[in-house]
Each structure stands twice: as C-alpha cells, then as structure tokens.
Amino acid sequence: MIDKNQVLREVESLIKVRSEYVVKYYNSWSEGKHLYIQMEYCSQNLKNILEVKAHVFDRQPGDPMNCYEYLISCEIFREILQCVQYLHELNPQIIHRDLKPDNILIVKDVGNGRFVKLCDFGLATVHDKDINYNTCGKHTTGVGTIKYQAPEIGHGTPYGHKADIYSLALIGGEIFDLILFNYDPDK
C-alpha cells in the first residue's frame, strides 16, 4: 500500500532538485483520492540493462567482460556516482536511502551527453550537515529494499550520507559482475 505522505515527500524532493542528475518533474495534481505525478519519460532502468548486458555483449554471466563492455560499465557507474554526488553536495544535502537499479533510470534521447538519472525520492531525507552528522531513523518498514540497505539503517543506528555510499558499492558490484558478499535476507 502506498503511503500518501511518502508520495508528497517525493513531490517536494523532486521540486527541490531540478537538475540533469534527477528525473525531471513537470507537474502534480490530485483527483479524488489519487495523486498524480507527471515526470520525464525514461524508457529503461539499470535493472533492465543489467539483465540483458551479458547477452548483448555475447558472454555468459560470470565470464570476464570484454574491453567494450567494461568501458561502457565504467561510464554508467561514473554517471551514477555523479548523480549521488550532486545530492550529497546540496546544502542541505539529500540522502536518497533507496538507491537500487530500479531507481536509476536510463534516458534515451539526451542533449547534454548524460544518460543516467535518479528517481523515486519517497524515502529521501534532507540532512543538514552543519547541524548534525547522523540522522537517527530507519527505512519505513516494508518499503525500502533490504538488499541495498546499509547495515546501520537496518539496525536503527544513526547514519548519514555514507548509507547511500554503501548502496552504491553494491550497485557497482552488480554492474561489474563482482560478488562482494553473499546476500542472505534472513540475517
């Protein structure tokens, strides 16, 4: 079930972060019990790209990448890092808290040379670096993606922007076909 407050937070975040690093927000309106958000159309997300990447480059999953696949993977990861860097350098900074391949969009037609944008700011939090370093809180229960969640968020201990960095490391591992550790959702 979608939380209305979470959707409103996402709209507020999108209005604040108009940039080439974030999916464009155009408009929002409500009709009856429904809230609609009109955003830039992006035809793919990183999850879809990762599912077909090995096949496109004619290799079996687990086999080494050729130099072309490696260079394209480097460019994708570089753009993702730039997107998150943008959020973390804002004042006050924004911690996304739900970075995962589904929330990294690929734009088909670009004028500025960038193909990667972030979306889904429903769990994002504004974090004033000058007031406090760590935010105390957890992902909203049942909403965030545990696989990409930093341990400190799951344990309810204070956290800061490094929680997003943890998620980036896991995403990078998937882009480059690295097994960083065995994920066990029961632990």
Instruction: Please tell me whether residue 160 adopts helix, strand or coil conformation.
Output: coil
Tokens of 184: 């066990």
Strand, helix or coil for residue 70:
helix
Where along the chain do its domains lie?
A: 42-175
| Arch. (CATH architecture) of 42-175 | Orthogonal Bundle (1.10)
Which value, to the nearest 10 degrees, does the dihedral of the CA atoms of residues 30, 4, 144, 103 take?
Answer: 10
- Among the listed residues 48, 46, 50, 43, the one whose alpha carbon sits nearest the alpha carbon of residue 110: 43
Cite the active site residues: 98
Q: What is the pLDDT along the chain (187 residues), one digit of tens a residue?
A: 556 676 677 677 767 778 899 999 898 888 888 888 899 999 999 999 999 999 999 999 889 999 999 999 999 999 999 999 999 999 889 999 999 999 999 998 777 778 999 999 888 888 776 665 555 544 333 346 889 998 888 788 888 899 999 999 999 999 999 877 765 555 5
